[in-house]
Structure 1
Amino acid sequence: MVETMPTLPLWVDVTAMATTAIYGAATARSRNVPVSGTLFAGILGGAAGGIVRDLLLGLEPVAITGPYYFPWILLATVFGAFFFYKFISQKVPFLVLKGVAIGLLISIGCQKALMHDVPFVSIILCGVLTATVGGMAIDTLTRHRAAVFSQAHWFATALIIGSLVFYGLTMTTNFYLATAGATLTAAVLYVTSVLRNWPSPMWPKEDTDMSA
């Protein structure tokens, strides 16, 4: 299977990391983080998921070794910190950006795992971790409960289903259609769950208030 897998397009990988960097920097600024911390949050949000993915696959982290990643992540961080943070108060644009970002990230995470012929469960795990590690780090550093561990509507569900959609489509079509399908699925599920206030699945008789 590895021999027939296309190489992960550089521009897709960079775009996914840059999109997440915008979200990370905007989120940090909305939480009144100082300038240096905001910039660090954007860089961390953009690069951390890809770094963890590559390390798990036994590869050199491209976000550090590649010549194009860091400049674009830094540029996206500055944009998010200075401009996009204003959209946080506008719920739908901010949710759509987050949905697109996680959709792109699960796609590149799954694709790179597929290229290195790891088991199916590990492919899904790489997709989910690529999309969540940066956000978890930012939430932890700004003293917020990470979304995947909180009452965050269908965030985790969107990640898993999006990863499964990518895997199914890339096995039957091609990378670009699979990425479009996974991104659309993850974004629609996440945005719809927030707008309609669908709660995250909870254990029976457990308190659903985990926002703290």
Structure 2
Amino acid sequence: MFSNTSEIIEILGTIAFAISGTFSAMQRKLDVFGVLIIAFVTSVGGGTIRDLLIGDTPVAWMRDVQVCLVILVTSVAAIIFKTYIRKLKVTLFLFDSLGLGLFTVVGLQKGINFGLNPGICIALGTITGCFGGITRDILLNTIPLIFRREIYATVCIFGGVVYLLLLYFEINTDISKFIVIALIVITRIIVVQKRLSFPRMRY
């Protein structure tokens, strides 16, 4: 079904963000159609912007209907089994963190595959990881996390730098991906638990 590790990571990221979007929409008491739309834009928003920026069109989800099916099935399953998921104490925050780590790596690798500058690769990883959540929050009339005090995009940038360093030192690509995914998720959890943040700008 999947030809390589990158595809598996992308599908896992899609599932994580679809659940994140679904629960965010249900918290706002949207109808079923609204929930599905939010799940969709959360899952593909970052990747769509990334692909448009690098001219890789039609964008990924338009070329592969499997992505849309994964989002639909995941969102419907999350709606049906929401009570059980809550009993397992799996939170919106956890799925958002997982999606952030998984999609950051997807964006980084795509930039590398296109032979782009390392800094641009990091930017693409950050965009892929963050912009689905930004779109979700805007549609739900919430200030996106990236614009609040909570450290969010910086975690993606940090992960991107580590990923490029691992590749520079010739660490296996698949191992590097999983290291960076774990690093981003763990760092984000620590940041939130310790309530670390940047100071507010004042004038």
Report the TM-score range of the alignment, normalised by the length of the smaller protein.
Answer: 0.7 to 0.9
Q: Distance in 2 between matches of 1:155 and 1:88?
A: 24
Say if 1:92 and 1:10 are closer, same or farther in 2 by CA, change over 3 A.
closer
- Structure 1 residue 93, shift from structure 2 partner: 4.0
Q: Distance in 2 between matches of 1:62 and 1:179?
A: 20
TM-score by length of 2: 0.87
- Structure 1 residue 109, shift from structure 2 partner: 0.3
Whether contact under 8 Å (2:5, 2:174) holds in the other structure is: no
**Structure 1: which 5+ runs fail to align?**
1-6, 208-212
Q: Distance in 2 between matches of 1:165 and 1:86?
A: 36
Match of 1:73 in 2: 71
Q: What aligned pairs does 1:120-159 form with structure 2 within 5 A after superposition?
A: 120-152=118-150, 154-159=151-156
Match of 2:199 in 1: 202
Selected match of 2:15 from 15, 18, 22: 18
Whether contact under 8 Å (1:169, 1:177) holds in the other structure is: no
- Structure 1 residue 57, shift from structure 2 partner: 1.5
Whether contact under 8 Å (2:149, 2:200) holds in the other structure is: no
- Structure 1 residue 133, shift from structure 2 partner: 1.1
Aligned identity (percent) is 22
Whether contact under 8 Å (1:8, 1:111) holds in the other structure is: no
Selected match of 2:45 from 48, 67, 92: 48
Whether contact under 8 Å (1:8, 1:112) holds in the other structure is: no
Q: Distance in 1 between matches of 2:178 and 2:125?
A: 15
Match of 1:168 in 2: 165
Q: What aligned pairs does 1:84-99 form with structure 2 within 5 A after superposition?
A: 84=82, 93-99=91-97
- Structure 1 residue 78, shift from structure 2 partner: 1.8
Match of 1:35 in 2: 32
- The amino acid across from 1:41 in the alignment is I
Q: Distance in 2 between matches of 1:121 and 1:193?
A: 24
- The alignment partner of 1:9 has SS state of helix
Say if 1:98 and 1:89 are closer, same or farther in 2 by CA, change over 3 A.
farther
Paired residues, number: 199
Selected match of 2:191 from 176, 182, 193: 193
Q: Distance in 2 between matches of 1:178 and 1:167?
A: 9
**Structure 2: which 5+ runs fail to align?**
none
1:59 and 2:56 are equivalent in the alignment: yes
- The amino acid across from 2:45 in the alignment is A
Selected match of 1:109 from 94, 103, 107: 107
Whether contact under 8 Å (2:23, 2:92) holds in the other structure is: no
TM-score by length of 1: 0.84
